[in-house]
Chain A
Amino acid sequence: MDIPYTVTARPDTGLYNAKVGIWLFLASEVMLFGGLFSSYIFLRVGADYPWPVHELNVTLGFINTLVLIGSSVTVLLAWASLKLRRIGAYKLYMLITVLCAATFMVNKTFEYKAKFEHYSVTLTDGTILTGHLPHGYSLEFGDVKTLNLTVAGKTSAVDADPVKYVLPYVKGDVPKFRTEAGEEITLDAASFAKLKAEAHAKAVEKAKAEQLKEVPNWSVKLTAAAPLTFSVPPSKLLAKPAPGATMIAFRDGTSVEGRMINDKMTLEVDGVDLRATPDKEKSLAWNEHYLGSAWKKAFIEQRDHAIAEFNEKYGDGKGGTTRDPNKSATHQKHQFFMHLHSAKPESHGADGAHKAEAHAPAGHGEAHASHHPEVQLERKDVQFFSNFTPKLNSYYAIYFTLTGLHGMHVVAGALVLAYFLVCNGRMLREDPERLANRVEVGGLFWHFVDLVWIFLFPLLYLL
């Protein structure tokens, strides 16, 4: 008993089963990416910040486009070779296709990695500084004498687990702790489990004694033998502490009291974006202990140069311009978005230092550290910061979602093609026509992946 039309086409529809199946699947993929592209449009139309243009690494994107087009061609050649029973050529082309997919993904990895290491900080006046964090970013919080744990009465979303969520951030050696009962312990998984069980038992007892409906939460105090200092990234805390906070809470609900020693953020600035700053010349960025007046001068030079150039290009001869400078996104960027290429401002000539070219930080390492001014941002001046991840803004959110999903399709497609190449040896010998159908169907999926990229590349990298 065989399912009909797995190899030959059904006469009245002219299709074999897998062909119908893959086209239906592609139809649903069209709707998947349709939904995503329509989210893209919606977010772009509603964006309340200048939509980034040419901000990603165009070269990498361009190479990846070529790679995908090439692989689309080779997968077809593989199919044609198989049809002609040129087995060697078939295998070679399939291999190239899979290697292209691998190249694509490697490039993507580089691109993503560069983004993860690059930061953007919005100051309270709307000024945006971009750059790298040479030492990462951790709050330093000291003078801590006790850990206040909360053991939840019933399982809950936040339950004490200091071994996993607090101790890793202690600076230096972890001292011994004294429990409320006066016992001296080394805090580790085993001793904490014991503490937790005791606390829970007490809570249950209390619930019984007072006829409570619910087992209450139980707080446990652990006193450190020596004062503790923490060095903890804000993302590992339950909530971002206010500037100068005297208490912080870790993700497991454990809170500690003490003193904020240092919550300054050291940023190697490689860009200043003043488009959202109301008064560009009074931006916080020009504070002497930040970028200072020398950079401000450089900025004013760049801005005036951009304006002059704009007037020259679009002047109508009567003192006005044929284009509205406020509506030209490029002009706004040329005026107000400055890239910093050196530790100290050079005096700019007229030779295109204003160019807001795509400045991918790929490959920035320690060696380049001195190529940018380093500033110490105070927490009270920082409104929002993030590395270049979905959190940064809706552009990066949709960028990562679209390219991430597309990347998953690339991987899936490559796996399927590799499977045909590696695991279908027997079918190749015994029923090459059926394998050719499979390759054709796999190829259709592969072309679709290429087709999506054809739209993604301009929408995300270029326009």
Chain B
Amino acid sequence: MADSPQEIQKAVRKILWIGAILIVFTVITVALSYVELPSHSWNLIVGMIVATFKAALVALVFMHLNHEAKLIYKILAFTTVFALAIFLLIYFTSLDPLEFARF
């Protein structure tokens, strides 16, 4: 945790930088969405990669996840696994080879 005044000053500069980067990438996201990639899935994938990058910046820097107590990482790791489970498993049930799932 940045606690001494100098460290806080440094942190402030970093925050402003990251804020600027986020804005730039927001513009990039919007622009990219108007570019026609080979298929719309590509647009989705690229868009999600950019969004994930931005989200990572927010989480790592703004929410100081780049240096946090180990316990927080553990909690978030499990949360991520379960969140992925609910994404992927539900998604897979709609992709079964027998195509039963699609009503």
Contacts and interface: CB of A to CB of B under 8 A. Distances in A.
Given A83-B3, A83-B8, A447-B62, A66 B23 contact: yes
Interface string A260-271: 000000000000
Interface in A1-54: 13-15, 19-20, 23-24, 27, 30-31, 34-35, 37-38, 41-42, 45-46, 53-54
Contacts of B51: 454-455, 457-459
Given A14-B69, A46-B102, A454-B54, A24 B75 contact: yes
Contact of A15 (B43, B71, B80): B71
A114 interface: no
Interface in B38-57: 38-40, 43-44, 47-48, 50-51, 54-55
A35 B72 contact: no
Given A38-B87, A83-B3, A463-B33, A451 B58 contact: yes
A13 B54 contact: no
Contacts of A30: 76, 79-80, 83
Nearest to A14: B69
B22 to A, nearest CB: 5
Interface string B62-87: 11000001111001100110110011
A160 interface: no
A80 B12 contact: yes
A41 B44 CA distance: 12
A27 to B, nearest CB: 4
Nearest to A322: B38
Nearest to B91: A41
Contact of A458 (B3, B33, B90, B102): B33
A121 to B, nearest CB: 25
A34 B87 contact: yes
Candidate in A45, A58, A444, A463 with the most chain B CB atoms within 10 angstroms: A463
B30 interface: yes
Nearest to B101: A46
Candidate in A15, A35, A45, A73 with the most chain B CB atoms within 10 angstroms: A73
Given A34-B83, A41-B90, A80-B8, A462 B47 contact: yes
The main secondary structure of chain B at its interface with chain A is helix
Interface stretch (A164-172, A325-333, A390-398): A325-333
Nearest to B4: A83
A329 B90 contact: no
A25 to B, nearest CB: 11
Nearest to A329: B40
Contacts of A23: 72, 75-76
Contacts of B90: 38, 41-42
B98 interface: no
A31 B83 contact: yes
B91 A462 contact: no
Contacts of A447: 58-59, 62-63
Contact of A31 (B44, B50, B62, B82): B82
A84 B69 contact: no
A19 B44 CA distance: 35
Contacts of B26: 62, 65-66, 69, 457
Contact of A42 (B30, B44, B91): B91
A54 B34 CA distance: 9
Contact of A69 (B5, B22, B70, B79): B22
Interface in B10-33: 11-12, 15-16, 18-19, 22-23, 26, 29-30, 33
A124 to B, nearest CB: 23
Contacts of A459: 47, 51
8 contacts: A14-B71, A34-B87, A41-B90, A45-B94, A73-B16, A76-B62, A458-B47, A463-B33
Interface of A: 13-15, 19-20, 23-24, 27, 30-31, 34-35, 37-38, 41-42, 45-46, 53-54, 58, 62, 65-66, 69-70, 72-73, 76-77, 80, 83-84, 323, 327-330, 443-444, 447-448, 450-451, 454-455, 457-459, 462-463
Given A31-B83, A330-B36, 17 more contacts: A13-B69, A13-B71, A15-B72, A23-B76, A31-B86, A53-B40, A58-B30, A62-B26, A72-B58, A77-B15, A323-B39, A328-B40, A447-B62, A454-B51, A454-B54, A457-B26, A458-B48
